[in-house]
Amino acid sequence: MIKRNIKVFDNQTRANEFLLDLLTNKIKHKLIKNIGLPTGSTPIEFYKLFANKVNTEKIDVSEITTFNLDEYYRLDPKDEQSYHFFMFKHLFSKIKFKDNYFPKSAKYDSQIKAAGGLDFLILGVGNDGHIAFNEPGSLKSSQTRIINLKPETIQANSRFFKSIDEVPKKAITMGLDTIFKAKQIVVLAFGPAKKKALQSFVNSTKFNSQLPISALLNHPNTMILTDQKL
Ligand code: GLP
């Protein structure tokens, strides 16, 4: 029997507040050493709330190491479109973790393993059901690797660039296996554009490579937070 833990909230802020309580309680109880973090427009409000709470309540994050999910391939970390830049702007400039890592090569998996694995992982989801940059077609056993982005993803992400031609065609991403090994996963999926992928997830009973988020179906501790009635 597949158990899906999907929590529907009135709006995105309510969902973010739920995640904020969950995560900060775990941090206060020293239950998190390594955390996986996403980019995209989805986590921006959460990062703002999180940074505010950490600073206001003086929550100690100095022993926590962050591992980002993905990065555009060969984009300078100083480039304003890079995920390095995004994370610095929205979170790392506001609160200081022990270390902040991004995937650079296949060694990322052994680096995460050597650090003790991911205790907590926050994920967004692409309109086509991709997680991190694991595009449709990704294997459940996939590891950190370079991936060719699908035209739909390049199109969707072009809203952050001056023109679609500037969007990198490749990215480096944590694999589905890397993601599945996280002890606890919370997926954030807001707005009607995500509804189709979520509905397909609800209707899936086994992994389907065309719907990468379905890799989470048998994960022992995954929760999806959404504002969409499914
Ligand atoms: C990109 C990122 C994903 C993210 C997705 C959704 O493709 N690689 O990690 O989940 O976009 O982005 P948004 O939150 O902007 O909808």
- Predicted TM-score (pTM) of the model is 0.96
Average pLDDT, the chain: 96
Instruction: Give the mean pLDDT of 4-16.
Output: 97
To test the pocket of ligand 1, the residue of 37, 130, 169, 226 to mutate (highest count of ligand atoms within 8 Å of its CB) is 130
Strands, DSSP E only, in the chain? 6-8, 34-37, 65-68, 70-72, 99-101, 120-123, 145-148, 170-173, 185-189, 222-226
- Which token pair is 64? 């926590």
CA of 127 to the centre of ligand 1 (A): 8
Q: Is the CB of 124 under 6 A from ligand 1?
A: yes
Residue carrying structure tokens 């391939």: 73
- To the query of whether residue 63 is one of the catalytic residues in this protein, the response is no
What share of the chain in percent tops pLDDT 70? Answer: 100
- To the query of whether residue 21 is one of the catalytic residues in this protein, the response is no
Q: Which of 71, 109, 119, 128 is catalytic?
A: 128
- To the query of whether residue 60 is one of the catalytic residues in this protein, the response is no
Q: Which of 84, 90, 130, 219 is catalytic?
A: 130
Q: Out of 93-107, 117-131, 147-161, 170-184, which region has the weakest mean confidence (pLDDT)?
A: 147-161
